[in-house]
Structure 1
Amino acid sequence: MDLKETDILGSSIDRHWYYASKAAATMRLLGTTPYRRILDVGAGSGFFSHHLLTHSSASEAWCVDISYDADSDATTDGKPVHYRRSIEAVDADLVLLMDVLEHVDDDVGLLKAYVEKVPSGSRFLITVPAFQFLWSGHDDFLEHKRRYTLAQLEAVVRNCGLTVKQGAYYFGLVFPIAATLRLLPRGAQPSPPRSQLKQHHPLVNTILKTLCNIELPFMGSNRLAGLTVFVLAQKP
């Protein structure tokens, strides 16, 4: 996750409808298959690793991000978390790339590099923002290169030698709201680079979280539309 968004939401990030719902979707897609060691690529604050360490049997996480000032170590729920600017081969059985591939010019090259660092059988959970037509100043603010369709992300994953296990869109019920807001005419000038993520009134936050909770049981079958693309894949 992007550190710019961590700065905006601060300590309340786990209560924000977007991140709370995304964490719940991550848990649902991973299912009951056990995993021990997490490699979190482009981890930022490590929000998703921390969530999985707290809510699953995972025992250790390696969070990698070039934005870290220096390597460091910490714990979450008594489990070790290693923050690294880079990493070589690691015996991880779950690799996270949560909103990472859209930040780089060569998405296939980056993903391939990490496929080579982990053993056969490792699972990859990847998320990216959906649909290029939803491009806005939010993407400029986060320095995105592109947005994806589900088919495009699945193609990237397969080009890296991974087997797609499941692919879906999420945030489908809030998609019409977000699409309307982003596509409303704003005159001749494009929207300025700024984050659309913000602290909401508790009532608004609850409503949006409830919509996502309603969608959650059905997300695995949503190949139509949403704000985020999820793909779960595995290294043969």
Structure 2
Amino acid sequence: MDLKESEILGDDIEHHWYYASKAKALMKLLGNTHCNRILDVGAGSGFFSRYLLAHSAAQEAWCVDISYECDSDAMEGNKPVHFRRSIDALDTDTVLLMDVLEHVDDDAALLKAYVDKVPAGSRFVISVPAFQFLWSGHDVFLEHKRRYTLTQLEGVVRNAGLRVRRGHYYFGGVLPLAAMLRLGERLRGPQPPRSQLARHGLLSNCLLGSLCHLELPLARFNRAGGLTVFCLAEK
């Protein structure tokens, strides 16, 4: 996840409708498969790996991000979380790249680099922002290079040597609202780049979270559209 957004939301991040819903979608995508040691690439604050440690049988997380000032260690409950600027190899069963590939010039090369660091059988959960027509100052602020369709992401995953197990869009229920907001931004003309993520009041947070919760059981069948593309793959 992006540290810029983590700084905006602060301690409210785990209750924010967007991140809470995305974490639940991550859990849904992994399903009942065993998860023990997590490698979280481009982890930022480590929100998603910490969520898995708190809500699954996972026992340990390694969070890798070049933005860390130094290596450090922490705990999530009684489970260790290791923050590292880089890592050579890891015996892991689950690799997360949550909103990472859109930040680099060569997405397949970055993904392949981490495929080579983990054993066969490792599962990769990848999320990226969907649809280039939704490009806005939000993407510029977060230093994105591109947005993806589901087909494009699956192509990158295969080019990196992974087997696609499942892919789908998510946040389909809020896609029309986001599209209207970004169309309005274009009609207003050039604006300073800024994140469209913001803290919400209790009512709006509950409404948006409930909309995403209703979508979750059917998300795996959604190859039509949403704000985010998810892919589950295996080495």
Answer whether TM exceeds 0.5 for this pair: yes
Instruction: Give the structure-1-normalised TM-score.
Output: 0.98
1:223 matched residue in structure 2: 223
2:164 matched residue in structure 1: 164
**Percent of pairs identical after alignment?**
69
2:68 matched residue in structure 1: 68
What amino acid maps onto 1:152 in structure 2? Q
1:36 matched residue in structure 2: 36
Q: CA deviation at 1:35?
A: 1.2
Following TM superposition, the consecutive aligned residue runs of length 4 or more in structure 1 with deviations greater than 2 angstroms are: 184-192
1:152 matched residue in structure 2: 152
For 2:119 and 2:225, the matched residues in 1 are separated by 33
For 2:188 and 2:58, the matched residues in 1 are separated by 50
- Cα deviation per residue 1:121-178 (whole Å; 9 max; x = unaligned)? 0000000000000000000000000000000000000001100000000000011111
1:195-210 equivalences under 5 Å are 195-210=195-210
Give yes or no for the alignment of 1:107 onto 2:117. Answer: no
Contact residue 17 and residue 208 of structure 1 kept, 8 A: yes
Contact residue 41 and residue 97 of structure 1 kept, 8 A: yes
Q: CA deviation at 1:77?
A: 1.4
For 1:23 and 1:56, the matched residues in 2 are separated by 12
Q: Secondary structure at the match of 2:229?
A: strand
1:214 matched residue in structure 2: 214
1:23 matched residue in structure 2: 23
2:56 matched residue in structure 1: 56
What amino acid maps onto 2:127 in structure 1? T
What amino acid maps onto 1:94 in structure 2? T
What amino acid maps onto 2:73 in structure 1? D
For 2:14 and 2:31, the matched residues in 1 are separated by 20
Instruction: Give the structure-2-normalised TM-score.
Output: 0.98
Contact residue 150 and residue 169 of structure 1 kept, 8 A: yes
Q: CA deviation at 1:188?
A: 6.8
For 1:83 and 1:20, the matched residues in 2 are separated by 22
Q: Are residues 28 and 192 of structure 1, via their aligned partners in 2, closer, same or farther at CA, if it must alter by over 3 Å? A: same
For 1:181 and 1:188, the matched residues in 2 are separated by 11
1:184 matched residue in structure 2: 184
What CA RMSD, in Å, does the superposition of the two structures yield over aligned residues?
A: 0.9
For 1:185 and 1:30, the matched residues in 2 are separated by 36
For 1:101 and 1:208, the matched residues in 2 are separated by 26
Q: CA deviation at 1:201?
A: 1.4
What amino acid maps onto 2:179 in structure 1? A
1:95-134 equivalences under 5 Å are 95-134=95-134
Q: CA deviation at 1:42?
A: 0.1
For 1:186 and 1:164, the matched residues in 2 are separated by 36
Point out where structure 2 has 5 or more consecutive residues left out of the alignment.
Answer: none
